Structure 1
Amino acid sequence: MPNQADTADELRRYLNARIPLIVLRTSEARRAQELIRQVAGQLKAMSFYCHTRTGGLAELLSQKAIVDDRSLLGAFDYAAATFRSRDYVNFVFVDVEDIGDDSSTSRHLAELADLAENRSGSIILITAGSVSTGLMRLGMAVELDLPDLDELFYVVSDLIDNYRGSMQIDWNHDDVRQASEVLVGLSESQALNAISTLLAKGKLIQDDIVELSTFKDRMFGAISGIERVPLRPEDSQVGGLTQLQSWLRERGEMIRMDLTHSRLRPPRGVLLVGVPGCGKSLSAKVVAAEWRFPLYRLDMSSVLGMYVGQSEGRLREALDMASRVAPCVLWIDEIEKALAGGVAGGDSSGTTRRMIGHFLYWLQESRAKVFVVATANDVSSLPPELLRKGRFDELFFVDLPDPEDRAEIIRLYYQSYLETDVSPYLLEELVTLSDGFAGADIAAVIHELASYKLRQRLGSAPISDEMVKDGFRNLMPFSRTNPEDVAAIRAWGLERAVPAGRPRQVDDGDAGRGVRRIMTPN
C-alpha cells in the first residue's frame, strides 16, 4: 500500500498533468489537507484554495478567507468565476456530501471540472465515501492510506521529544519504534491521542508500551467474532512441550525485529494438533504472555451467519481487525469445527470452501505481525490445504506428557494452587499414578485438592500424601475413557507432525493400542 510520500508524489504528477478532477480517498481529512499544502508549497506557479464546512473558502497556504459566504454553493460560484478568468488555479473541497450518485451536487462538480479543464485548473475532492461513476470518468483517484511505521515513528518521536527534559521519559529509539509498531493501524490523530494520554501521567516508562494495545481496542470497538483475552500471571508458563517452546522462542525474536525494509515476512503462526487437554490452548496464552503481545480469540461460531455471504464478510472483517491491532497473537481454538464442512463434500452452499480460501489467502499474503495459534483435536476433518507446508510455519503434535513432563506439570500446579513444593518421594509416586494423564487432568486433581484445603480452612497445614495419591487414583483420564479416539489421534500425529514435547520412540503397537495405564488400587 502507498505511504504518504508515494501519495504526495502521485498527487504532484496529477497536478502537473492538469487532471481536471482528482479524488483523494482518505479517512483523515486534516492529514490530507496538510499533504496538499506541502505539495502546493512546491508548485509555486499555481494557486490553491480550500473549502471546509467550518472555515468556508480560504487560500490554502495563507489560510486567508476569500468570501464571507461559507456555504458550499458560495464556494462553487467563486470557483466557477475564477476558472473563467484565470489559469492554473486549483480548488480543494473537503467532505462534500451527496456525490456518490448522480445528484445536483455531483453534476455541479462535473460542470466545474469542465471549466477547470479549459483553463488548466484542477478540482481536488477529499472524501472517505463513494464518488459517482460519472464524476470518476472525468479524472483520477489517489489513496492516502493510514500512516505506516516510518510515518508514525516520525510523528511519535516529534511529540515525545517535546517533553524530554521536562518529565521522566524512559523510552529510547528502539522503544519509540516498538510503540509506533503497536500503533500501526490507527490514524495519525488517534496515535497522537494515545501517546498524549500516556504523557498526561507525567512520565513515560517501559511498561506503557504494553498499554498502547488497550487503546487500540477502545478505538476500534467490538468486532463480531474477535475478542480480547485478558492474560493472568499464571498464563505465562506451561509444563512440558519443550520443542514447541524452544521453537516459539526463536520465532519470538524474529517477530520483534523491524522487518519494514526487509523482504522477509513475519512468522505466520503454528497449527497445534493432538490429544485434548495437553496444553494446546494454553500455549496461545503462553506465547502472548512471553512476547508481551495482546491475545485475541477468533470465535468461528459467531462468525458463521445464516445468510449467503454473511459468514465470509464477518471472517474478512475479523481478520482485517486482527491486522489492524497487530502486533498480536490470534488464537483460533478447535479450528476444525468451523472449517470441517468443506471436507468430503459436506458443504452444499460453498460457504465453508470460500471461508477456507479467504483464510488461507490472508494467512499467506498478510504482512501484519499477527501470529496465529490454531488448535485442532479432530485432525481427520481438517481440509488438506490447511496442512500444506507454507500455510502455517509449522505443524506440531501435542501428545500425552511423558514422565519428565508430568513431573514438571505436577511441580508447576503444586506451586500455583497449593503454593508449596512437592516432596521428591511423593513426586515420584504421582508421576507413576498419572501415567496416561493429560496436563488438564493433573491440573484438575491438584485444583480440587486446593479447593478442599480452602473449604476445610486448613490454612498453612499440608494435605496428607495419601489424600493427594487418592486424588490421582480416583480420576479417570480421557485416555482411559476414550482409548480409541486417543489411539487414532496419536497414530495420525506421530507420523505427520513435529512432536511438541521431547522426541521419543513409540513402537507401532503402542500407537495403535492407545495409552498404557498403570492402575493403583485404593
Structure 2
Amino acid sequence: MSDFTESKRDLDAYLTARVPVIGVRSIEQVRAIRLIREVAKAPKRSALPFWIYTRATGLRDLRTNSPVSEDRSLVGAMEYAALQFTNRAQSTLVFVDPEDLSDDNTASRHFAELARLADSNSGCIVLITDTPLWGGLQRLGMSLRLDLPDASEMYDVIVSFLGDHRQVVPIAWSENDARRAAEFLVGVPEGTAVNVMATLVAKGSIAKEDVESVSLFKDKHFGDLSGLERVVLKAADHQVGGLSTLRTWLARKHQLMVADLRDTALRPPRGVLLVGVPGCGKSLSAKAVAAQWNLPLYRLDLATILGQYVGQSENRLREALDTADRVAPCVLWIDEIEKGLAGQNDSTGVGRRLVGQFLFWLQESRSRVFVVATSNDVRSLPPELLRKGRFDEMFFVDLPDADDRREIIQLYYRRYVTGAPSADLLDKLIGLSEGFAGSDIEAALHDVGAEIHLNGGVDRLRPDFVVETFANTIPLSRTNPEQIDEIRAWGRDRAVPAGRAAAGTGPGPASGGRRVLVMGEQQP
C-alpha cells in the first residue's frame, strides 16, 4: 500500500470519527490538499460542509473553490470557524500552514480552544503543516504524516504525465524506463518530478538516454546536502585494474540494484566493506562502481559529522543518512570508516551510539543506496560492524599478484605514456613491481608521463627511463613491512579476497583457511 493510500485511509477514519483536530504533516501542501479533497468528495460526506483557508486565497469552499469571505486574514477565518462550530454540526475547516504551531504560543492555544469548541458539536479542524504540532494541541486529536511519493506513486505520476504528452512529442521510454526514472526521482516532491518531466518535454522529445539525465535534475534539486559531498566522476574512474573477484561480484549485485523487487521478499543490495593494504584500489573501487552503474556518488565525511555538543553527532549522522535515502538510487562512499566509527573504547559513548545508529539504518533502510565502505585498520572497527549480514560482503584487497600487476601496468601505461608497452618491457616492469600497490604503479608511470611531457614527446623518452623509474620506486611494503604484514595476516583468513582467489604472494598465512566466494556461473 502506498503512503498516499494509507494516509487517505487514516484521514477517512479520523473524519468519520469526527476527531476535533487532525494534524497532516507534509512538505507538499498541494499534495496534502488533494488528499483532503479526495476524502471530502466521498459520497458519504456529500452533505457535510468543508472549507479551506490559505494565506493567499483566504477562506474558500474546499470542493468548489468559491470564496466564502472577503476577509483573508487568519483571525477572520478562525472567527468564521468558531461561528460554524457553534451553530452547525459536523463542520470541517482546513487550515494550510496558518502559524507556527510547533510549541506553546498564542496561536497554538487559540487553535486548541477552537478544537474544544469543534468537539462540542462534532466539528473538525484539519491543520496542514510541515512541522510537528505542539503537544498540547496534538493531544486533542490525531495526526498523520504524508511522506514524499514512493517509487510506485512516482511511477504513476510519470506514466500519467507521459500519457498526457504522447500526442505532443515523441516519447521513446518503455515501462522499464519509466520505472527507472521513478526510482531516480524518489525523494523529491511530486511537483518537482512534474517539473523535471516538463523540462524533458520542452526540448521536443523524450529519448532513452534521458532516463540517466533525470538523476542530474534530482542532484540539482538537493544542492548542498548535510553531511554528504557529491563526488564528480571523471572518465578515468571507470577503470580499475585487478580485483577480478570483486568486479565480478559487483556486476552481479548491479543486476539486483536495477531489478524490480516489488513482488519479492528481496531487498536492494546493502553494500560492501573493503579492507586491506593502503593504495590497492579500495577508494577507486567506490568511484568505479558509481561510474559503471551510472549512479551519483556521495561521500559521507564522518569528520564533519562529529560535533562538540551532546547529541549533535547523532543528529548530523541521522540527517546525512536520511538525505542518502532521499537521493537514492546512489552509491554512498564512506572512506576510512574506522576513523569515524571506531568508538568502542570512547568514554563519552558517542562512538557506540553512532555505530548503533549506522547499523540500524544499514539493516532497515529499503532505499537503493549501495554503501562502499573502506578501511585500512579494520581491527579498530567494532565487531558488530563486521558480522555477516551487515554488509553484503567483506572483501580483502591485497597487494596485486603478477597477473593483476600486468593489468594495472597496462592500464596506467595507456593513460600516461599512451600506447602499450612492449612484451619485454612489460615483463621487466612486472618483476620490478613485486610488492607494489596499485598506487605505487600509478605514481611511477605518472612520473614517466611527466618526463615525456617535459622532453617534448614519447619519441624522445630514453628507453631505460621507465625501468629506472620502477627500480627507484620504494613501495610502502618495503618502507613499513611490519604494518603491511600485519594487515595481510588479518585479512587473508577473515575476508573474501578481492583479487584472484589463488593469489598468495608475499608473506602471510597459508591460504588453506581463506574464505573464497563462489558465484553462480562464474568462469574459472
TM-score (norm 1): 0.94
1:133-282 counterparts in 2 under 5 A? Answer: 133-282=135-284
1:24-423 counterparts in 2 under 5 A? Answer: 24-42=24-42, 43-342=45-344, 345=345, 347-423=346-422
Q: CA deviation at 1:512?
A: 6.3
Q: CA deviation at 1:438?
A: 0.9
Q: CA deviation at 1:173?
A: 1.3
SS at match of 2:507: helix
- Please name the residue that 1:502 is paired with: 500
SS at match of 1:138: coil
Q: 2: CA distance between counterparts of 1:337 and 1:278?
A: 19
Q: Which amino acid aligns with 1:354?
A: R
Conserved? CA contact 1:426–1:465, under 8 Å: no
Q: CA deviation at 1:464?
A: 4.3
Q: Which amino acid aligns with 2:355?
A: I
Q: Call closer, same or farther: CA 1:448–1:133 in 2, change over 3 Å.
A: same
Q: 2: CA distance between counterparts of 1:505 and 1:179?
A: 41
Conserved? CA contact 2:86–2:121, under 8 Å: yes
Q: CA deviation at 1:261?
A: 4.0
Residue by residue over 1:283-317, the C-alpha shift from the partner in whole angstroms, topping out at 9 and shown as x without a partner, is: 00111111111011111112122222222221111
Q: 1: CA distance between counterparts of 2:497 and 2:460?
A: 37
Q: Which amino acid aligns with 2:206?
A: L
Q: 2: CA distance between counterparts of 1:478 and 1:417?
A: 22
Q: CA deviation at 1:117?
A: 2.2
- Please name the residue that 1:520 is paired with: none
Q: CA deviation at 1:27?
A: 1.0
SS at match of 1:341: coil
Q: 2: CA distance between counterparts of 1:505 and 1:412?
A: 20
Q: 1: CA distance between counterparts of 2:488 and 2:22?
A: 61
1:3-18 counterparts in 2 under 5 A? Answer: 3-18=3-18
Q: 1: CA distance between counterparts of 2:188 and 2:174?
A: 22
Q: CA deviation at 1:153?
A: 0.9
Residue by residue over 1:449-498, the C-alpha shift from the partner in whole angstroms, topping out at 9 and shown as x without a partner, is: 1111111112x527344111111111011111111111101100111110
Q: Which amino acid aligns with 1:100?
A: S
Q: CA deviation at 1:274?
A: 0.7
Q: Which amino acid aligns with 2:374?
A: T
- Please name the residue that 1:511 is paired with: 508
- Equivalent residue for 2:482, pick from 481, 484, 490: 484
Q: Call closer, same or farther: CA 1:423–1:510 in 2, change over 3 Å.
A: same
Q: 2: CA distance between counterparts of 1:221 and 1:480?
A: 44
Conserved? CA contact 1:49–1:59, under 8 Å: yes
Conserved? CA contact 2:26–2:32, under 8 Å: yes
Q: CA deviation at 1:171?
A: 1.7
SS at match of 1:322: helix
Q: Call closer, same or farther: CA 1:38–1:496 in 2, change over 3 Å.
A: same
Q: 2: CA distance between counterparts of 1:248 and 1:463?
A: 39
Q: Call closer, same or farther: CA 1:312–1:179 in 2, change over 3 Å.
A: same
Q: Which amino acid aligns with 1:36?
A: I
Residue by residue over 1:180-208, the C-alpha shift from the partner in whole angstroms, topping out at 9 and shown as x without a partner, is: 10110111112212222233322222332
SS at match of 1:203: coil
Q: CA deviation at 1:66?
A: 0.8
Q: CA deviation at 1:388?
A: 0.6
Q: CA deviation at 1:502?
A: 0.5
Conserved? CA contact 1:274–1:376, under 8 Å: yes
Q: CA deviation at 1:433?
A: 1.1
Of 301-310 and 214-223, deviating more is 214-223
SS at match of 1:162: helix
Q: 2: CA distance between counterparts of 1:131 and 1:123?
A: 13
Q: CA deviation at 1:228?
A: 0.6
Q: CA deviation at 1:36?
A: 0.7
Q: CA deviation at 1:503?
A: 1.1
Q: Which amino acid aligns with 2:481?
A: P
- Please name the residue that 2:522 is paired with: none
- Equivalent residue for 2:472, pick from 450, 471, 474: 474
Q: Call closer, same or farther: CA 1:261–1:48 in 2, change over 3 Å.
A: farther
TM-score (norm 2): 0.93
Q: Which amino acid aligns with 2:19?
A: I
Q: 2: CA distance between counterparts of 1:512 and 1:258?
A: 43
Which runs of 5 or more residues in structure 2 are unaligned? Answer: 511-524
Conserved? CA contact 1:223–1:317, under 8 Å: no
Q: CA deviation at 1:323?
A: 1.0
Conserved? CA contact 2:26–2:145, under 8 Å: yes
Q: CA deviation at 1:324?
A: 0.8
Conserved? CA contact 2:2–2:153, under 8 Å: no
Q: 2: CA distance between counterparts of 1:410 and 1:141?
A: 62
Q: 2: CA distance between counterparts of 1:280 and 1:208?
A: 31
Conserved? CA contact 2:492–2:509, under 8 Å: no
Q: Which amino acid aligns with 1:428?
A: D
Q: CA deviation at 1:10?
A: 0.7
Q: Which amino acid aligns with 1:485?
A: Q
Q: 2: CA distance between counterparts of 1:88 and 1:462?
A: 91
Q: 1: CA distance between counterparts of 2:461 and 2:172?
A: 47
Q: Which amino acid aligns with 1:33?
A: I
CA RMSD of aligned residues (A): 1.8
- Please name the residue that 1:433 is paired with: 432
Q: 2: CA distance between counterparts of 1:389 and 1:115?
A: 57
Q: Which amino acid aligns with 1:213?
A: S
Q: Which amino acid aligns with 1:293?
A: L
Q: Which amino acid aligns with 1:178?
A: R
Q: Call closer, same or farther: CA 1:462–1:291 in 2, change over 3 Å.
A: farther
Q: Call closer, same or farther: CA 1:441–1:157 in 2, change over 3 Å.
A: same
Q: CA deviation at 1:231?
A: 0.9
Q: 1: CA distance between counterparts of 2:106 and 2:415?
A: 70
Conserved? CA contact 2:19–2:124, under 8 Å: yes
Conserved? CA contact 1:329–1:370, under 8 Å: yes
Q: CA deviation at 1:28?
A: 1.0
Residue by residue over 1:405-444, the C-alpha shift from the partner in whole angstroms, topping out at 9 and shown as x without a partner, is: 1111111111222220121221111111111111111111
Conserved? CA contact 1:22–1:122, under 8 Å: yes
